[in-house]
A = this chain, B = another copy of it.
């Protein structure tokens, strides 16, 4: 009725807005849960960096490559890396081959913290399975990945570095 009409007036295609709205709320809810589960002082951003080094088996990556991998700006990456180096999770050195660049690597303390994080968030996984079955999750993730890649290509910025 009135409310419904107001809603329909919002745009010719409210479905697309709804899609991004649901995505946003799921990200916020799951992000907050993850933050709460992580060890005191650890953040999603920092855990993501640690996990990246282990998962992909990289030895050294430049700040620019890391920023690109997570689709964040370089200033954002700089600020996170500064904090991570301060707490001993990563090591940053000048790139001997390029005077402008730096090289980041994970320290033993960083590896230990990553293991600690993995253990801390493990209990969250069973909860996810109560939300959606694995059979449903597989095609859903495939669709989202497709959308993410297409969305990525829509930008002017360089594509994801992995």
Contacts and interface: CB of A to CB of B under 8 A. Distances in A.
A31 B26 contact: no
A77 to B, nearest CB: 13
A100 to B, nearest CB: 25
This protein's copies in its complex? 2
Nearest to A5: B57
Given A23-B144, A27-B27, A140-B140, 15 more contacts: A7-B55, A10-B51, A10-B55, A16-B129, A16-B137, A19-B144, A20-B30, A20-B34, A22-B145, A25-B148, A26-B147, A26-B148, A29-B155, A127-B154, A131-B151
Interface of A: 2-3, 6-7, 10-13, 15-16, 18-20, 22-31, 33-34, 51, 54-57, 70-72, 118, 122, 125, 127-132, 134, 136-138, 140-141, 143-148, 150-152, 154-155
